[in-house]
Chains A and B, each alone.
Chain A
């Protein structure tokens, strides 16, 4: 978890030009860090590459739009990292 967060935080800091110290597991990518949808594509590309996964962004977006989950589930970084870890585990299984 901590190494996943470090990697993701590093990606966000570099991709979105956000000071690393502002990025915490509690940060919401949109509400707190101000990452817009285009920048998030860059973040997603870098995360997919770094972890060898394909984050199901369309499925996540659909779940949020249908009110099944709040944006916190996927955009609060601690939760995002937990979801990344699940995808990495599922790929390795």
Chain B
């Protein structure tokens, strides 16, 4: 869901990313006919992915965060095809085997969604996944300094 990481501050433990909602997608055929809207679950997924990039960066890709819990999710406004989303996440806690972030989405300067997201943070299950995550990180412009432990 994330197109580009535009800012990553390890001191403040925050990340900001951009995501452009495609103008056309099979998703919109059913959601909803004649009134296309980005499904709320994909807004949550966008926040989870953005927070996940932050956790990966903080841990220098030594461990993998998997979505475990979404709390206090609020979908405040519709997001439509072609709209640009600005997604922010802040690491609330880097626990032992888990991490918690606060994430939010804005469009045109207005907050449209937010949630608190918990991840289980575990060793990468295999080298393939880690390599793919590193390749994707480069594709979304994750700064090189965060890619290796």
Contact = CB atoms under 8 A, between A and B. Distances in A.
B69 A54 contact: no
Interface string B134-146: 0000000000000
A57 B96 contact: yes
A57 B98 CA distance: 9
A67 interface: no
Contacts of A49: 93
A45 B69 CA distance: 12
Interface string B54-65: 000000000000
B49 interface: no
B96 A45 contact: no
- Interface of A, helix, strand, loop or mixed by DSSP: helix
A42 B98 CA distance: 10
A54 B120 CA distance: 15
Contacts of B100: 45
Interface residues of B, number: 11
A61 B120 CA distance: 14
Contact of B69 (A38, A48, A55, A58): A38
Interface in B40-76: 68-69
A45 to B, nearest CB: 6
Contacts of B69: 38, 41-42
A57 B93 contact: no
A59 interface: yes
Nearest to B116: A45
B118 A45 contact: yes
Interface in B90-106: 93-98, 100
* Top-6 shortest CB links A-B: A57-B96, A58-B97, A58-B96, A41-B98, A57-B97, A56-B96
Interface of A: 38, 41-42, 44-45, 48-49, 54-59, 61
7 contacts: A38-B68, A38-B69, A41-B120, A45-B98, A45-B118, A54-B94, A57-B96
